[in-house]
Structure 1
Amino acid sequence: MSGVYRYLQRQAHESPVIFYSLAIGFLGPVMVVTVPPIRKRMGWKPADRIPTTFPLPNRPRQPVAGYEDP
């Protein structure tokens, strides 16, 4: 196990771009599994959905008068 640690340490010094891009790439799937339960435990609730239609009033519709073209 110490050989793996030393190899990773050497890679971090010799080619940091590749090392850290791989590290971030491996963290992505781990975060998909771990972050939602943590957020739920902290009391986060999803925002209300944005309405996609305008609510119509609950009354009979009256035609518009007085705005006719001449």
Structure 2
Amino acid sequence: MSGLYRALQRHAHESPVIFYSLVIGFAGPALVFTVPPIRKSMGWKPAERIPATYPIPNRPRRPTTGFEDP
């Protein structure tokens, strides 16, 4: 196990861009499974969904007037 630690430490010092890119890349999938339960336990609720259609009024439709061509 110490050999793995030493190799990771050496890569972090010699090529930090590659090392930390891999660390962030491997942390992403883990966060997908850990963040939602934490947010839920803290009381977060999703926002209300945006309406996809405009509600039609519950009355008969009146034709518009005053927009005729002369």
Alignment: residue pair count: 70
Alignment RMSD: 0.9
Alpha-carbon offset, residue 56 of structure 1: 1.1
The residue aligned with 2:25 is 25
Residue 35, structure 1, aligned to residue 35, structure 2: yes
Q: What one-letter code is carried by the residue in structure 1 that aligns with 2:61?
A: R
Q: What one-letter code is carried by the residue in structure 2 that aligns with 1:2?
A: S
The residue aligned with 2:48 is 48
Q: Give the 4+ runs in structure 1 shifted more than 3 A.
A: none
45-54 vs 24-33, greater mean Cα deviation: 45-54
Listed one character per residue, the Cα deviations across residues 48-67 of structure 1 (whole Å, up to 9, x for unaligned) are 11111111111111111222
Listed one character per residue, the Cα deviations across residues 9-53 of structure 1 (whole Å, up to 9, x for unaligned) are 111000111100110010011001101100111111111111111
Normalised to the residue count of structure 2, the TM-score between the two structures is 0.92
Percentage of pairs with the same residue: 76
The residue aligned with 1:14 is 14
Q: Which blocks of at least 5 consecutive residues in structure 1 are unaligned? A: none
Normalised to the residue count of structure 1, the TM-score between the two structures is 0.92
